[in-house]
């Protein structure tokens, strides 16, 4: 049995230069063209597959076996593709599981951290609030004392100013 015959396609490559932001990039563009001769060969292979079975030693035997081999190869390729997709899905699901697990662990760790911080900060906060309340009370007491002293000074000032006026008037009379 001869190895499977695959149709050859002629290719042409062209190089294209693209200029972006002052940098040059080279790209190779591959253009696949099928010659008319290759089209005729493909049509002949299709016609051979639908024709009567070949006799031993006939040239059609090789084309039929090539068609069967091509079918086998395409089945194998499809199986490989499906297996690769399954492996990809398994890997993808593992990544998703590990992601959600790490998200859950991180959320738990953050929640625990904040709870610990809250429990440690609550007594400190209450101590600060009681100290603030004490200072506010002291401030109110000082303001009352200051108001009393200011009113006492004001009374003394008025009294002394009256005395000064009497002394100034007496001195004016004495000098006149």
Provide the residue-wise pLDDT of the chain in tens; the chain has 176 residues: 555 555 555 444 444 444 455 555 455 554 544 445 555 555 554 555 444 444 444 445 566 677 788 888 988 999 999 999 999 999 999 999 999 999 999 999 999 999 999 999 999 999 999 999 999 999 999 999 999 999 999 999 999 999 999 999 999 999 88
Residue 22 is predicted with a pLDDT of 54
Residue 154 is predicted with a pLDDT of 94
How far CA 58 is from CA of 6, 54, 61, 70, 101, in Å, comes to: 19, 6, 6, 19, 65
Residues counted in the chain: 176
Residue 156 is predicted with a pLDDT of 93
Residue 49 is predicted with a pLDDT of 47
**What residues make up the domain containing 86?**
70-145
- Of the candidates 6, 107, 104, 113, the residue with the CA atom closest to the CA atom of residue 63: 6
Count of domains for the chain: 1
- Give ∠ CA 50-52-55 in degrees, rounded to 5: 135
> Which positions ≥6 away from 3 have C-beta within 8 Å?
69
Residue 68 is predicted with a pLDDT of 81
β-strand partners of 12? 31
Distance CA 33, CA 29 (A): 13
> Which positions ≥6 away from 120 have C-beta within 8 Å?
none
Helix (H, G, I), strand (E, B) or coil at 149: helix
Residue 80 lies in a domain: yes
Instruction: With 0.75 as the threshold, say if the pTM is over it.
Output: no
Residue 140 lies in a domain: yes
How far CA 103 is from CA of 17, 20, 99, 117, 161, in Å, comes to: 46, 40, 6, 21, 81
Question: Tell me: the pLDDT tens digits for 21-53?
Answer: 555 545 555 454 444 555 555 555 455 544 444
Can you state the angle between helices 60-175 and 36-50, rounded to 10 degrees? Answer: 120
Residue 136 is predicted with a pLDDT of 97
Residue 2 is predicted with a pLDDT of 59
Kindly state the DSSP code that residue 171 receives in the 8-state scheme: H
- Of the candidates 7, 63, 50, 53, the residue with the CA atom closest to the CA atom of residue 32: 7
Kindly state the DSSP code that residue 21 receives in the 8-state scheme: T
Residue 14 is predicted with a pLDDT of 47
Residue 65 lies in a domain: no
Residue 143 is predicted with a pLDDT of 97
Residue 78 lies in a domain: yes
Kindly state the DSSP code that residue 22 receives in the 8-state scheme: T
């Amino acid at each position: 049995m001869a190895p499977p015959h695959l149709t050859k396609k002629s290719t042409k490559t062209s190089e294209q230069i693209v200029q972006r932001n002052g940098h040059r990039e080279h790209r190779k563009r591959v253009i696949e063209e099928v010659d008319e001769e290759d089209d005729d060969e493909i049509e002949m292979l299709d016609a051979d597959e639908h024709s009567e079975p070949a006799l031993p030693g006939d040239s059609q035997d090789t084309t039929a076996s090539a068609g069967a081999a091509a079918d086998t190869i395409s089945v194998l390729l499809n199986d490989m593709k499906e297996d690769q997709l399954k492996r990809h899905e398994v890997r993808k699901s593992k990544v998703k599981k590990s992601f959600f697990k790490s998200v859950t662990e991180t959320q738990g760790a953050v929640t625990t951290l904040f709870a610990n911080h809250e429990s440690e900060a609550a007594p400190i906060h209450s101590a600060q609030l009681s100290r603030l309340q004490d200072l506010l009370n002291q401030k109110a007491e000082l303001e009352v004392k200051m108001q009393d002293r200011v009113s006492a000074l004001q009374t003394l000032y008025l009294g002394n100013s009256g005395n000064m006026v009497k002394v100034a008037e007496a001195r004016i009379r004495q000098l006149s």
